[in-house]
Every structure is written in structure tokens, then in C-alpha cells.
Amino acid sequence: MSEHEQYAEDLALYAMDALRGEDREKLEQHLATCASCRLGLEQLRGDSALLALSAAGPRPPQRARKRLLEAIAREPRIVAPPTGERRAWWGWLGWAATAAMLILALSLWRENFALRETLASASSTAAENARQLEELRKIAAPIIEPEAQRVTLVAAKTPPQPQGKAFYLRKRNSLLFLANNMPALPPAKAYELWLIPPTGAPIPAGVFKPDAHGSAIVVNPPLPAGAEVKAFAITVENEAGSSAPTSPVLMMGAGE
């Protein structure tokens, strides 16, 4: 197909991570909508793998094996539940990345509803995307629809504690935050979520007030691009939010 010729050479470079700058951005945008180029990319990656396999060299030292197996034994393990026969198309993503993708898909869906409908009728690829977005919307609905019930489970005889869970995907600037059992606040006050970078000041990441059940959600607050996260924290601020924390940290968590 002639419209893909312009991308054919860029694909080879991209397969080896040698495409940078504007060309890279243009290609990535194209790849998002072009299944045949994605397939071409896979094949070129396979070709480049042949280069990798031609590397000859000494075997690694024995201590490396010991070091790895010891490191693995120290890792916390979450055993995955047995997977069903049919994998969902997003099944290969981790749960956190899936949640973040949901948010991105939802914001795209909300903002581009009309455009999506037009595109869906224009080509089968777009129709498939729309179907997938619809599936994602269904999944996300119990998380963010106001009438959804939220339940926090804790060990028996333990009163539920305030709890927050943040899902952050740096490369897409996507944040989903869920809070449960947050105490009610005086009027004119709100909780503020902060993204704590490895260095520098805490970054405002959304203001929220718990509902009658103590639950709240923050979806895709504006964040500086590519912010690195060391931890998240919550303080109490005035309703309108603050650009810097003015009260002690109430809740905090670092990455899992």
C-alpha cells in the first residue's frame, strides 16, 4: 500500500529504537491506528532479533546465577489466579496499568464521543477500537459511576481504616486514585492528593471530598508531563486546593 511506503523505512529504525524526534512521534501516532504497520513492526523486530542472537561470547560467571536466584527468593510474590481460556485483549497488562488505561480510554471516550462515532462508521479498525472502548467503559463503570457501591473488606473485627489507592502511569500522564473510609471534613475544607517526586516539591494531584460513605475518586488530574513518583500523600487543605501542602501529611504511601 503506497500510503505506508513513507513509514516502511521508519519502521525498521523504530524496531531498533533508532528513530527519534518528530519522525518517531509521527510514526507512533500512525501505529496507534494501523494494524498492518504494527504487524510490519513485529516482523522487523524479529529480524533485528536475529542480529542479537549472532552475538557470541563467554558464558556468564557462576556467581550471577546464585545472585539472581537469591534476589528472586527475596522478592514478594503475588501468585496470579489461574487465567481463563480466553484472554481479554488487555490481559497482558498488569492490573495497575490496566486501571490507568481505563482512565485514559474513558477520558478519550468522553471527550471524543462524536468523533469516535464518525470514525467507527468509517473503518473496521476504528469500529474495533470503539468496541474495545465500550468494553472498557463497562469495566470502569463500577469504579466511577456515582451510584456504584463501594465496599472495603478488612480482617474480621477490624474497623475499616481510611485507605487510598493510587494508580499512576507516568508515560501517559495518567492517574487514578480511589479512597475509602475517609473521615468527613468541615465545610470549606477538602483533601488534597500530592505526588511526591524523588526530588523537589510535592506536586498537586487533585482535590477531593469524600461522599456520605467516605469514598472518593480522582481521575486524571492535570499533572506535569513525565513526573516521577516516589510516593503519594494526602493533606487537608481549603476547598479550592493549594499549590503546596499547608498542613501535616495525613496519609502516605510509596510504590508497591
The footprint of another protein (CB under 8 A) covers: 8-13, 15-21, 23, 39, 41-61, 64-65, 67-69, 71-73, 75, 77, 79-80, 83, 87, 91-94, 97
Q: Which residue, 175 or 233, is less far from another protein as judged by CB?
A: 175
Smallest distance, another protein to C-beta of residue 29, A: 16
- Asked if 27 contacts 44 with a C-beta cutoff of 8 angstroms, the reply is no
CB nearer another protein, residue 41 or residue 223: 41
Q: How far is the CB of 103 from another protein (least distance, A)?
A: 18
Smallest distance, another protein to C-beta of residue 19, A: 6
Beta carbon nearer to another protein, 82 or 186: 82
- Give least dist CB 48 to another protein, A: 6
Q: How distant, in Å, are the alpha carbons of 8, 53, 205 from that of 173?
A: 29, 35, 11
Least distance in angstroms from the C-beta of 127 to another protein: 22
Residue 193's alpha-carbon distances to 114, 227, 254, in angstroms, are: 32, 14, 13
Residue 46 or 183: the one with the smaller Cβ distance to another protein is 46
**How many whole angstroms separate alpha carbon 26 and alpha carbon 157?**
56
Name the residue with cell 528472586.
72
C-alpha cell at 164: 487510598
Q: What are phi and psi of 186, to 5 degrees?
A: -65, 160
Give the nearest distance from C-beta 240 to another protein in angstroms: 35
* Residue number with CB closer to another protein (45 or 150): 45
Q: Closer to another protein at the Cβ: 46 or 160?
A: 46
What number of CA atoms fall less than 13 Å from residue 221's CA on the CB side? 21
Give just the sign of the alpha carbon dihedral 151, 153, 154, 155. positive
Give, in order, the Cα–Cα distances in Å from 196 to each of 1, 49, 128, 221, 249.
48, 39, 38, 15, 12
- Residue 144, C-beta contacts closer than 8 angstroms, at least 6 positions apart: 106, 217, 219
Minimal distance in Å, beta carbon 94 to another protein?
7
Handedness of CA 74, 79, 80, 85 (dihedral sign): positive
Q: Which residues does residue 162 pair with via DSSP β-bridges, in sequence order?
A: none
62/65 Cα distance (integer angstroms): 6
Q: Name the residue nearer to another protein (CB basis): 8 or 252.
A: 8
